[in-house]
Structure 1
Amino acid sequence: MSAADKEKDRVDSRAEPAEADFLLKPYKGKRPPAPEWFDLAIGKQARTGRVEVDGASINWRQWGDPGKPGMLLAHGNGAHSHWWDFIAPFFAEDWNVVAPDFSGMGDSDWRDSYGFSAFAKEQVAVCEAAGLFAHQQKPIIVAHSFGGIISLVTALQHGDHFSGAVIVDSHIEPPGKDRPRPPKRQRPNRIYEDLTAALARFRLAPLQPCENHFAVDHIARHSIREMTGEKGEQGISWKFDPFLFSKLRAEWDELDLTRLDTKCPIVFMRGEKSELVGPDVSAYMQSLQDPPVPMITIPDAYHHVMLDQPLAFVAAVRGLLAAWPER
């Protein structure tokens, strides 16, 4: 490995987690106490569906009246549609809300290779299959982190099908700065003996504090499934493809978002305390269109905005949609 490659891998790597980063370990498999609004939200039953896209079966969850305008929710890296379980119901009265699992994550199939155009194609296919394009009003996208990068590609390639996109704490680095990426994986996901052991090792990526352990616990329980290890051991492991970024890395390195000639309006949102989208990155991202792209900052939130400040996030998106351009 060259010196340049070694330095790039050093930059790409994340700090090793400390015990405090394993937020659910103290609960020993029990659910943390949750507020009433949260229990009511996750109690809203979602419908499910699947659609095949280039040989992979893509899963989605759906809330609300199919006759309403469409809202597509896009999760981040290694995540899944259940990240939206306590957010989607707040929009279901006015929107036909759909949250898919990207291939390689959640309950969708894994692929031999991944690409941003392919992920964007999955978004369009889910919208078609779930009826979001059937309404006279084009659907809106609300996307977090890695899902935001995918949704920018969707807005570039297929934006004429959408009324716009709200891109939440997705990082576009200024020229000359290194692109933050997950480290290369060389081993499969670890197999844990039971649910309690797996929950105890769940952590957010990138690492950050989060006071809403009830929300972290909910997504953690939907991040795992029974699996068989390479040596035949039975247990619990993570749903995501551990080699997804290894398969995507070349395209990720080459992805050029220095010109955002999107075919629909976009708005950026960030957490005030986000380490990925700080003030300098925020200013650069806003400058990628003329007039500048609006940037909404959620106070007292880190990268995982909808975990840190779920109700403030809902209020901010509602406000944006109430004043969204004619579509």
Structure 2
Amino acid sequence: MDTRTVTLNGQDFFLRQWGDPALPKLLMLHGFPEYGGAWSDLAPYLSDRFHCIAPDQRGYGQSWAPSGTEHYAASALVSDMAALIAQIGDPVAVLGHDWGAAVAYGLAMFRPELVSRLIIANGVHPVPFQQAMAAGGAQSEASQYINNLREPDAAQWLSAENFAKLEKFFRHGMGLDWMSDAQMQQYRTEWARPGRLHAMLNWYRASPLVVAEPGKPLTDLPQLPRDKLQVRCPHLLLWGPNDTALLPEATQGLEEFAADLTRIDIPDTDHWLHHQNPQAVADAIRGWVPPEDQSS
């Protein structure tokens, strides 16, 4: 792995990279509460076939972290990564997990010329996810934590006692614990950078998605422009079936938005599949990407 800082839209962003720069590019987008280093488990299994590029996204790690929720609208987050792809050479394959999946979907839907292939690992398209969260059923119940993370004082109580509550949420709230104490300390170091945790939480606050109370479905949500939310490139959905935060219903109907969709489950994994079984995740990606897209 090597690292560098690049300027995107006039701001500094920190990147980690694995593999020969002459290989096809794979842009790897992390979610909450991770950072670009979260791909350190998976990237070594792919770096002989791809030049893996993992940025700390806006508000995370060593990248630009402006204050103010308005800086974390989806259009701004997508613009960051569109600027990065323009620098590294487009189009590229994009892999997104959790909130990184939201940015990856945004790139594929609104900047399709930049994305050759879309890979999502336990992440969700906005329409099926909003439908599931609005239904008042199991996904609504599983997503109640989102409202907690949107609270104005969330950064304060999550960071108290050396990030005790955030650690509990991370290691036990969304699946099985997979990390070592040394890895946990690396995450604490990233979370403790000035203003970062509040910035990370602004991703939740800026999102227009609404979570219904369990048993109280919402019926008055605005209609999303389905014709503008299509994924037209080949799309692979990798899924850890034991995820407790994102349930299978959150991806029901995805085929309506991705005509060229392949679904692959990674057995005995949950939300953190890229940490729990990186070999299986890498094998699934290798098997799905044609050989001509894996060579220089």
Report the TM range for the smaller structure's normalisation: 0.7 to 0.9
Paired residues of 2:72 and 2:206 also in contact (CA < 8 A): no
Kindly provide the CA deviation profile for residues 163-182 of structure 1, in whole angstroms up to 9, marking residues without a partner as x.
Answer: 11101111342636337335
Distance 1:176 1:85 in 2: 32
Residue type of the alignment partner of 2:168: R
- TM-score, structure 2 as length reference: 0.75
Aligned-pair CA distance for 1:299:
0.7
Residue type of the alignment partner of 1:288: F
Where does structure 2 lack aligned partners over 5 or more consecutive residues?
135-139, 210-221
Q: 1:91 aligned to 2:55?
A: no
Q: How does 1:173-188 map to 2 (within 5 A)?
A: 173=129, 175=131, 177-178=133-134, 180=143, 181=146, 183=148, 184-187=150-153, 188=155
2:216 counterpart residue number: none
Q: 1:203 aligned to 2:161?
A: no
Q: 1:49 aligned to 2:49?
A: no
Residue type of the alignment partner of 1:163: S
2:120 counterpart residue number: 167
Aligned-pair CA distance for 1:282:
3.1
The structure with the largest helix share of the pair is 2
Q: 1:150 aligned to 2:114?
A: no
Distance 2:265 2:49 in 1: 24
1:298 counterpart residue number: 266
Q: How does 1:70-149 map to 2 (within 5 A)?
A: 70-111=25-66, 112=68, 113-129=71-87, 131-133=88-90, 138-149=91-102
Match of 1:273 among 216, 238, 242: 242
Q: How does 1:25-44 map to 2 (within 5 A)?
A: none
- TM-score, structure 1 as length reference: 0.69
For the aligned residue pairs, the C-alpha RMSD in angstroms reads 3.3
Residue type of the alignment partner of 2:81: Q
Change (3 A) 1:287 1:128: closer
Distance 2:241 2:117 in 1: 23
Aligned-pair CA distance for 1:185:
3.2
1:252 counterpart residue number: 208
Paired residues of 2:175 and 2:242 also in contact (CA < 8 A): no
Residue type of the alignment partner of 2:267: P
Kindly provide the CA deviation profile for residues 109-162 of structure 1, in whole angstroms up to 9, marking residues without a partner as x.
Answer: 212321212111211222333x343xxxx3211110110011100111212122
Q: 1:61 aligned to 2:26?
A: no
Residue type of the alignment partner of 1:100: P
SS of structure 2 residue aligned to 1:107: coil
2:214 counterpart residue number: none
> Whose RCO is larger (CA < 8 A, sep 6+)?
2
Aligned-pair CA distance for 1:68:
1.1
Paired residues of 2:159 and 2:165 also in contact (CA < 8 A): no
Residue type of the alignment partner of 2:197: D
Paired residues of 2:26 and 2:51 also in contact (CA < 8 A): yes
Paired residues of 1:139 and 1:162 also in contact (CA < 8 A): yes
Aligned-pair CA distance for 1:211:
5.1
Distance 1:268 1:221 in 2: 30
Instruction: Say which is worse superposed, 294-303 or 242-251, in terms of deviation.
Output: 242-251
Distance 2:235 2:97 in 1: 13
Residue type of the alignment partner of 2:289: L
